[in-house]
């Protein structure tokens, strides 16, 4: 009789867990939020709540903790953290429009999830226009790079790297870079026509803020 009661209790707990899963769904992986944001774009391309074409002042209004630095060529780079990810935003120089032309996101996750990440990206953008994977061996790290044209001159590049460190669980690193190739092209044309910037250059934030 006691065994029957235990079996009934275990069955009820399992049923409750199953119904909870069906109602509330599984806990989404952290990388799903960034891909959902990429997929749900409307008129402009947004990553980490920053839209390509934003000015540094507009980015600061979205992320109050953003840090900025001036590169050797006079262009500005911003760095901030958002929902566990690290972001860098590259801007044109003020004389070129001072707009964000590249946004880069980086985050590491526990487990080997590159397959699920690639599948989710392809559901968002279709088959990549270019892709390549490197693996050093059975127990070696695996690195993949995929690229898409997302429309309106925006190129999206995703890089995944699975780091195996036995006996510790594997870790997957994801980097997503969105570039407005039209703004980038404008930058190149202007810089080819002008002398190199010779003003003072500030040091970029520490590597733990700007990992790229």
Contacts of 65 (CB under 8 A, 6+ apart): 80, 81
pLDDT of 193 above 80: no
CB-based burial, 51-78: b 16+ in 10 Å, e otherwise: bbbbbbeebeeebeebebbbeeebbbbb
pLDDT of 93 above 70: yes
Among 32-41, 44-53, 65-74, 189-198, which stretch is predicted with the lowest mean pLDDT? 189-198
Whether the Cβ atoms of residue 89 and residue 77 lie closer than 8 Å to each other: yes
Tell me which residue of 151, 114, 107, 113 sits closest to 129, measured CA to CA. 151
Residue 94 phi/psi, 5° resolution?
A: -50, -40
pLDDT attached to residue 167: 63
Among 51-60, 68-77, 190-199, which stretch is predicted with the lowest mean pLDDT? 190-199
Binned at pLDDT 50, 70 and 90, residue 179 comes out as very high
Binned at pLDDT 50, 70 and 90, residue 95 comes out as confident
- For the chain, what percentages of helix, strand and coil (3-state, to nearest 5) are there? 30, 35, 35
Say how far apart CA 52 and CA 38 lie, in whole Å.
12
Whether the Cβ atoms of residue 77 and residue 88 lie closer than 8 Å to each other: yes
User: What secondary structure does DSSP assign to 39-89, as a single string?
Assistant: HT--SS-EETTEETT--HHHHHHH-TT-EEEE-TTS-EEEEEEETTEEEEE
Tell me which residue of 28, 168, 155 sits closest to 104, measured CA to CA. 155
**More confidently predicted of 207 and 57:** 57
pLDDT of 19 above 50: no
Say how far apart CA 153 and CA 52 lie, in whole Å.
11
pLDDT attached to residue 87: 96
Its pTM surpasses 0.85: no
pLDDT attached to residue 146: 95
Say how far apart CA 3 and CA 15 lie, in whole Å.
18
29-193 is a CATH 3.40.1000 domain: yes
pLDDT attached to residue 106: 95
CB atoms closer than 10 angstroms to residue 191: 17
Domain edges within the chain: 29-193
- Per residue in 115-148, pLDDT (tens digit) is 889 998 888 888 999 999 987 655 557 899 999 9
Whether the Cβ atoms of residue 66 and residue 78 lie closer than 8 Å to each other: yes
């Amino acid at each position: 009789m006691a065994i029957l009661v235990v079996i009934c209790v275990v069955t009820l707990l399992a049923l409750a867990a199953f119904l909870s899963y069906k109602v509330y769904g599984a806990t989404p992986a952290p990388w799903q939020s960034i891909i959902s944001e990429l997929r749900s774009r409307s008129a402009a391309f947004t990553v980490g709540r920053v839209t390509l074409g934003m000015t540094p002042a507009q980015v600061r209004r979205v992320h109050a903790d953003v840090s900025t630095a001036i590169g050797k060529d006079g262009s500005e780079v911003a760095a901030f953290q958002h929902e566990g990810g690290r972001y860098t935003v590259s801007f044109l120089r003020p004389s070129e429009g001072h707009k964000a032309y590249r946004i880069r996101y980086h985050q590491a996750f526990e487990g080997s999830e590159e397959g699920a990440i690639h599948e989710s990206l392809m559901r968002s953008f279709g088959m990549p226009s270019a892709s390549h994977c490197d693996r050093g061996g059975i127990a070696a790290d695996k690195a993949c790079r995929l690229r898409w044209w997302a429309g309106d001159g925006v190129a999206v590049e995703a890089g995944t790297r699975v780091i195996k460190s036995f006996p510790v669980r594997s870790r997957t690193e994801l980097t997503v870079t969105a570039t407005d190739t039209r703004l980038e092209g404008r930058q190149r044309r202007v810089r080819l026509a002008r002398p190199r910037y010779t003003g003072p250059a500030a040091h970029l934030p520490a590597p733990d803020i700007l990992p790229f």
